[in-house]
Structure 1
Amino acid sequence: MGDLPFFLMILLLGFGLVSGFLAGLLGVGGGLMLVPALVFVLGHQGVSGDLAIKMAVAASMATIVLTSLSSVWSHHRRGAIRWDLVRRIAPGIIAGGMLAGAGAFSILKGQTLGLVFAGFVGFSSYRLFRAKRPSTSQPVPQGVVELAAAGGAIGFISALVGAGGGFLSVPYMSRRGVPLHAAVATSAALGLPIALASVTGYIASGWSLPQALPGSWGYFYLPAIGLIAAGSITTAPWGAKVAHGLDVTRLRRIFSLMLALLAVYMLQKSLLQA
């Protein structure tokens, strides 16, 4: 693991275990928790604040590729994923993720990305805390144009903040009448195209960057990605299993409070940058 201290290795593995469980359980949480954690780890390794935020976002999204595979399989075995919605939303997600990853991600300063992240984590915290049962008065979305547009927005924003999109897709689908467990499962399936498109964009935009740390390549810090992925792959199926037998309303509210604290942390880190 190069020059990564042992205590940081244990910390990253622990972050992976928790983020994988949350991603499987709630369809949201992995990336939203990992980015602040990785900013802390990279800062401890001497990476400047601006670059640390971009590397944290990229590493978070890279781990989602593997976590989503594990989580999706678990949800699929229970027949909870709305694959008809995945097929309609995914094209927009891929376009939005690549546009943000290859374009806006490299143009925007890390400080700006940190502020965007803090804003959307705060928004997610609010939505999770006030989560209500989905209304049955609104139809389940079917229009190709609407779903492609929603996917484009979800993919673009997710690529900027390093999250799997559940903080946007779960509320969207729930508001449109998709049952919560199906929305969580479908969000997990959408995490894979979000992550693949975003990572492709990050590779393109960071191809010529000098090595920031031993074991890093472009925006990707490979030791951190490996440790987090090892933990998240282990616990994502467990989270998905628990989700199908649990009323998660109280847990969502507890998690929303944690997100609020993370939003404050990232806001502080971003505002204190030179």
Structure 2
Amino acid sequence: MPPIADLVLFAIALAAAGVVSGLLAGIFGIGGGAILVPVFYQVFGYLDVPDAVRMHLSIGTSIAIIVPTSIRSYTSHRKRGAVDTALLKSWIVALPLGAVLASVIAAVISSVGLRLVFVAIALLVALRMLFNRESWRVGDTLPTGLANQIAGVVIGTLSGLMGIGGGVLNNTYMTSFGRPIHQAVATSSGVGVLISIPGIIGYVWAGWGAAGLPPGSTGFINWIAVALIVPIALVVTPWGVKLAHSMSKRQLEVGFGVFLLLVSLRFLVSIYG
């Protein structure tokens, strides 16, 4: 067991992560999972959580934190009238279904496999954001019908496997079809709500009875980490919303791209370093 002083230091680090995740939830419409998952991975490793379940626990705990931060971000963005509620309503089944599929996959996939999924998706999105060109647009209107439902399931599944609230993928999806980045960010906060709530249930089920989980865990969710971060993130999220609405489209894209690139490189080091 680590010394008390070290545990206090990590508690402070988690609190700082709560500030960052709250800002990210507001600025990018994401639940902050892209920063929390790497932080949790390091902290749980120091606490001697076995590698076989460490990434799973990091993702599940991140999903749990996304619920309140996404709701907070969504209500703030909705007050500004920026949310595409029609798109959210069309995904009311597709996104939760994808989140459930993610938990089923998480129950059987390895830790390295989960990290590689995280890195691959984050790198692709980062490159698109950093080198975005108008000619990269897929279309001028969002798909409807079956294509729209498939997109919802895919976004829900991949986001659940990354421990994120869907903002990373939904921002890319909506902007690829000509939607403004600010509308995509606002709508992504609602996407996070639809993914994270069933995601909690799924990761509890997937990790039920798993060996090596630290105290305060239910399945692949550690409630001590959740309790430390959520209050801070809820206070900070509205600040991020204000920042998002004061930044230009290109500033949001570059900031988002650089952030994802750094996170991807950190995970590659954890796998091959």
Structure 2-normalised TM-score? 0.91
Q: Which residue of 1 aligns with 2:96?
A: 94
Q: Which residue of 1 aligns with 2:270?
A: 269
Instruction: Check the 8 A contact 1:15/1:231 in 2, yes or no.
Output: no
**Structure 1 unaligned runs (5+)?**
none
Instruction: Check the 8 A contact 1:13/1:230 in 2, yes or no.
Output: no
Q: Does 1:197 align with 2:198?
A: yes
AA in 2 matched with 1:249? R
Q: Which residue of 2 aligns with 1:186?
A: 187
Q: Which residue of 1 aligns with 2:235?
A: 234
Summarize the Cα distance change of 1:204–1:136 in structure 2 as closer, same or farther, 3 Å threshold.
closer
Q: Does 1:39 align with 2:41?
A: yes
Q: Which residue of 2 aligns with 1:108?
A: 109
**SS class of match (2:21):** helix
Instruction: Check the 8 A contact 1:210/1:218 in 2, yes or no.
Output: no
AA in 1 matched with 2:46? H
Taking the TM superposition and a 5 Å limit, the aligned residue runs for 1:74-223 are 74-101=76-103, 103-132=104-133, 138-141=139-142, 143-210=144-211, 212-223=213-224
Q: Does 1:22 align with 2:32?
A: no
Instruction: Check the 8 A contact 2:57/2:220 in 1, yes or no.
Output: yes
Q: Which residue of 2 aligns with 1:71?
A: 73
Determine the C-alpha separation between the residues in 2 that align with 1:134 and 1:185: 24
Determine the C-alpha separation between the residues in 1 that align with 2:130 and 2:226: 30
Question: How many angstroms does 1:251 deviate by?
Answer: 4.8
Determine the C-alpha separation between the residues in 2 that align with 1:44 and 1:180: 38
Question: How many angstroms does 1:236 deviate by?
Answer: 1.3
Alignment size in residue pairs: 270
Q: Which residue of 2 aligns with 1:53?
A: 55
Q: Which residue of 1 aligns with 2:257?
A: 256
Question: How many angstroms does 1:270 deviate by?
Answer: 2.6
Determine the C-alpha separation between the residues in 2 that align with 1:23 and 1:74: 11
Question: How many angstroms does 1:141 deviate by?
Answer: 2.0
Determine the C-alpha separation between the residues in 2 that align with 1:96 and 1:157: 8
Summarize the Cα distance change of 1:176–1:254 in structure 2 as closer, same or farther, 3 Å threshold.
closer
Instruction: Check the 8 A contact 1:55/1:220 in 2, yes or no.
Output: yes
Instruction: Check the 8 A contact 1:134/1:179 in 2, yes or no.
Output: no
Deviations 1:75-112 (A, max 9, x none): 011111110010112311111110111x1010101111
Summarize the Cα distance change of 1:218–1:26 in structure 2 as closer, same or farther, 3 Å threshold.
same
Question: How many angstroms does 1:210 deviate by?
Answer: 4.2
Question: How many angstroms does 1:165 deviate by?
Answer: 1.1
Summarize the Cα distance change of 1:211–1:184 in structure 2 as closer, same or farther, 3 Å threshold.
same
Q: Which moved more, 1:173-182 or 1:204-213?
A: 204-213
**SS class of match (1:141):** coil
